[in-house]
Amino acid sequence: MNDDLTQKNLLGLITDEERILIERLTEEMPLKGAIVEAGSFFGASTKAFVEGLKRNKSLTTGEKQGRIHAFDKFEYGHWVHPRFIPRGLLQKGDSFLSYFEENLSADMDYVTLHIGDVIEAPQWEGGSIDILFLDICKTPKINDAVQDLFFPHLKPGSLLIQQDYIASTLNIWLYAAMKRLEHCFVRKEHCSVNSVVYECIQTPNTEDLQNASACLMSHSERIDLSQQVLEEWEEIDYRAAEQIQYAILHYRKAVAMNRYGIRPVKAEDEPIERTDFAPNLPF
């Protein structure tokens, strides 16, 4: 395994700024409930929660055991960049859990693992959630599953970290869903890229969750709501707004390509599965 994996700043997909933010929030939070991290990958964000939890003074050492609930299917796919796992080492669907376990080795006592597709996760029985970190909402279906699973367990004062937010990804349903839930969350702070922290001011109820369902929104609804969010961010942080604008543009482009059957450029070794050349959109 790569030597970098044993360093303090674990190889992963969060920035140093985000790692420091997670550690600080976890250290300072008066903890009573669970910490839920959805999307653990190699454990970089998990390790940040562990470091913060170790320094947290509101719990005894015993009470800290298993408090961080890490959800991931830990399954290799081509989305894993070769800098993490060289091509050819694992096949699609192989588990990369051993990388996570090795990185967290000394700290696994703090972690409760939930391995598998979060869409099929059983009902959450872990009580109220103090910190919910989401780095998993890569499709509308996952977004909705995660909202339904965890949001009813957020209480006023709980923190929600949306890690995929300030990024030029296609995940604009995050903006749309959070806009529809604006009576339940206030924005507290954000990193220069990716993570935005919200404080829960009202637990979302069934009607709120239905209203914020990404799957139930049309492309136009998602785009319209995102445009409103973009205008708000233009007042808050123009660099973040730029990322959000790119995300909306990417999304518009993907929708248009799909509508007109334009095939995106693919790597040569990737088999062409469709004959109509319309890309399969994940949303």
**Residues binding ligand SAM (CB under 6 A):** 12-14, 39-42, 44-45, 72-73, 75, 117-119, 135-136, 138, 142
The Cα–Cα gap between 280 and 274 comes to 9
Q: Which is nearer to ligand SAM, 75 or 182 (CB)?
A: 75
Give the number of other Cβ atoms within 10 Å of residue 263's Cβ: 12
Q: How far is the CB of 13 from ligand SAM (least distance, A)?
A: 4
Of the two residues 75 and 234, which places its CB atom closer to ligand SAM in the complex?
75
Query: For residues 44 and 178, which CB has a smaller minimum distance to ligand SAM in the complex?
Result: 44
- By C-beta, is 70 or 248 nearer to ligand SAM? 70
Give me the residue whose beta carbon is nearest to ligand SAM.
12
First to last CA, the chain: 35
Q: Closest approach of Cβ 90 to ligand SAM, in Å?
A: 12
Contact 68, 112 (CB under 8 A): yes
Shortest separation between residue 10's beta carbon and ligand SAM, angstroms: 8
In the complex, what is the shortest distance from the CB of residue 275 to ligand SAM, in angstroms, rounded to a whole number?
28
Shortest spacing between CB 80 and ligand SAM, in angstroms: 8
Which residues, including other chains, have CB under 8 Å from residue 19's CB and lie 6 or more apart?
Answer: 9, 44, 45, 48
* Exposed / middle / buried, residue 278 (Cβ in 10 Å: 0-12, 13-18, 19+): middle
Q: Which is nearer to ligand SAM, 54 or 141 (CB)?
A: 141
Locus of tokens 């009902």: 123
Question: Residues 6 or more apart from 248 whose CB is under 8 A from it?
Answer: 172, 223, 226, 227, 230
SS3 of residue 154 by DSSP: strand
The residues pairing with 69 across neighbouring beta strands, listed in sequence order, are 36, 112
CB of residue 128 to ligand SAM, shortest distance in Å:
22
**By C-beta, is 164 or 184 nearer to ligand SAM?**
164
